[in-house]
Amino acid sequence: MSIQNEALRKTFVSVPDTATVTQAVAVLKQAGGQGWWTLLVTHSDGQIGATTFTELAKLVDKFGPALFAARLADLPVPLKVRPSIEADNVDAHTAEVLAGRRGMLVVTEKGVPVATISDTMRSEGLFASSSLVELYGEYVQLSEDARAAWKPNGKKPPAQPCGHIAWPELAADGKWVCSQCKQPIGKD
């Protein structure tokens, strides 16, 4: 029996882990999505990571314009891997139980995400802060390099472990470094 139920949520976008933050925001915009929507990131090994665009906005506040060009696989914090199940392999009740145990279940068809089932539902006003699209959407250009158009909206660069007050940047080796001295910071 397959899952066909109102518990299925279509409030997500899905991109591969090779996509950049800018590309993920572009997909969200094209889908008419909101900042509270889930971003599903499909990894090359088939695992599916998840976050919200609200959480990405917090990372942009911390890591600045370099984050827009970063591949989702290179984010400075790992995405929580979510279990997935083929829609034809489980009934709606079992899927809801699994989602309750795991927080979220990704429903797939032939390995492609088609819906999510979550143990929490969004209510109006739940996210009082602005979303990534609201804060940065007008600045995120769908060009090759969105960093040139990014404006910090009054945010100042954070202090880095090396002591510099600077935005981090992603080095060629995939590590986050201080933009001033190039010393590694954060995720190894």
Please tell me what DSSP assigns to residue 79.
P
d(Cα 69, Cα 115) in Å, to the nearest integer? 27
What pLDDT does residue 51 have?
Answer: 87
CATH classification number, 1-121+128-139, choose in 3.10.580.10, 3.10.150.10, 3.30.70.270, 3.90.1310.10: 3.10.580.10
Q: What percent of the chain has pLDDT over 70?
A: 73
Who's near 26: CB < 8 A, 6+ residues apart?
140, 142
d(Cα 129, Cα 115) in Å, to the nearest integer? 25
Which pLDDT tens digit goes with each residue over 15-25?
999 999 889 98
Q: What rounded mean pLDDT belongs to the chain?
A: 75
Asked if 73 contacts 18 with a C-beta cutoff of 8 angstroms, the reply is yes
Q: Quick one: which of 94, 112, 84 has its CA closest to 7?
A: 94
Question: CA end-to-end span of the chain, whole Å?
Answer: 44
What pLDDT does residue 151 have?
Answer: 57
| Residue boundaries of the structural domains of the chain | 1-121+128-139, 157-188
- The CA–CA distances, whole Å, from 49 to 92, 122, 151, 171, 179 equal 22, 19, 28, 23, 28
Q: Quick one: which of 91, 85, 104, 77 has its CA closest to 9?
A: 104
Q: Report the pLDDT averaged over residues 87-97.
A: 76
Residue 79's CB is within 10 A of a number of other CB atoms, namely: 19
